[in-house]
């Protein structure tokens, strides 16, 4: 009998540890967060006017649980870049006066199970609305051969996201996320080389208030 207890005791401890470690958490009803990111735009001729395809981005998001671990998300972000040295051939203007100012407004669905240990993961997808503003008459869209550019600045597209998060304390976590997006602007297609979307690498915090 004593021998059986000695043999089973480590197993009982392990079972108790597993139960405590993997105990399911309550699924939060809402989430809020902010992030700092590094973005690479996909627009193929972007560096004809602007200094770099890479740049900083800042954003925020909020989500409401629809059912299970599924959250309806709204997200905001931006990307700005200055003009490089040289002359804008179509207009004759100094490229240093150029300014790219892009805003993203996105809505989608995120599947984000509760963090049962310290680490968790999530993924999501949705549609985006892309608002691009430039300093006229310097425009990246006029360098592709069209003389009469569309006045339609807002375009649409889609995004996919994948992230991992680390629970720092109850209701608060840090995360790393990769997002790929595709979006159009000025009446153009949002696919491949004409996309004003791109790759977004983010670090941030998530807060579950209730």
Q: pLDDT per residue over 57-83, tens digit each?
A: 999 999 999 999 999 999 999 999 999
- The model carries a pTM of 0.83
Q: Identify the CATH number of the domain in which residue 99 sits.
A: 2.40.160.20
| Per-residue pLDDT tens digits for 81-124 | 999 999 988 788 999 999 999 999 999 999 999 888 899 999 99
Domain count for the chain, please give it: 1
Instruction: Flag whether 4 is in a domain.
Output: no
Instruction: Flag whether 24 is in a domain.
Output: no
Instruction: Flag whether 13 is in a domain.
Output: no
What DSSP designation does 27 have? P
Count of CA atoms in the C-beta half-sphere (13 A) of 67: 0
For residues 11, 12, 16 and 21, what is the CA-based torsion angle, rounded to 10 degrees? 0
What DSSP designation does 116 have? S
Instruction: Flag whether 33 is in a domain.
Output: yes
pLDDT over 80 at 188, yes or no: no
More confident residue, 171 or 153: 171
> Cβ distance 176 to 163 under 8 Å?
yes
pLDDT over 60 at 173, yes or no: yes
Positive or negative, the CA dihedral 46, 49, 54, 58 is negative
Instruction: Flag whether 186 is in a domain.
Output: yes
Per-residue model confidence (pLDDT) at position 39:
98
- The span from the CA of 195 to the CA of 23, in Å, is 44
Mean pLDDT taken over the chain: 84
pLDDT over 90 at 171, yes or no: yes
- Strands 172-183 and 119-133: what pairing? unpaired
Instruction: Flag whether 6 is in a domain.
Output: no
Domain that holds residue 149: 29-207
Instruction: Flag whether 20 is in a domain.
Output: no
What DSSP designation does 148 have? S
Instruction: Flag whether 8 is in a domain.
Output: no
């Amino acid at each position: 009998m004593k021998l059986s207890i000695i043999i089973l005791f480590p197993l009982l401890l392990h079972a108790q540890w597993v139960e405590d470690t993997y105990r399911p958490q309550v699924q939060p009803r809402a989430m809020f967060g902010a992030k700092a990111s590094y973005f690479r735009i996909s627009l193929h001729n972007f560096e004809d006017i602007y200094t770099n395809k890479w740049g900083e981005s800042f954003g925020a998001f909020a989500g409401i649980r629809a059912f299970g671990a599924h959250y309806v998300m709204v997200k905001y972000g931006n990307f700005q870049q200055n003009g490089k040295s040289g002359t804008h051939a179509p207009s004759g203007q100094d490229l240093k006066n150029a300014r790219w100012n892009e805003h993203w407004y996105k809505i989608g669905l995120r599947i984000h199970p509760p963090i049962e240990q310290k680490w968790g993961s999530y993924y999501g997808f949705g549609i985006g609305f892309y608002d691009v503003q430039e300093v006229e008459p310097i425009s990246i869209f006029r360098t592709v051969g069209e003389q009469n550019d569309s006045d339609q600045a807002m375009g649409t597209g889609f995004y996919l996201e994948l992230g991992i998060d680390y629970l720092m304390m109850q209701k608060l976590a840090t995360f790393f996320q990769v997002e790929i997006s595709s979006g159009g602007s000025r009446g153009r297609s949002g696919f491949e080389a004409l996309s004003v979307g791109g790759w977004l690498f983010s670090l941030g915090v998530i807060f579950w208030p209730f």
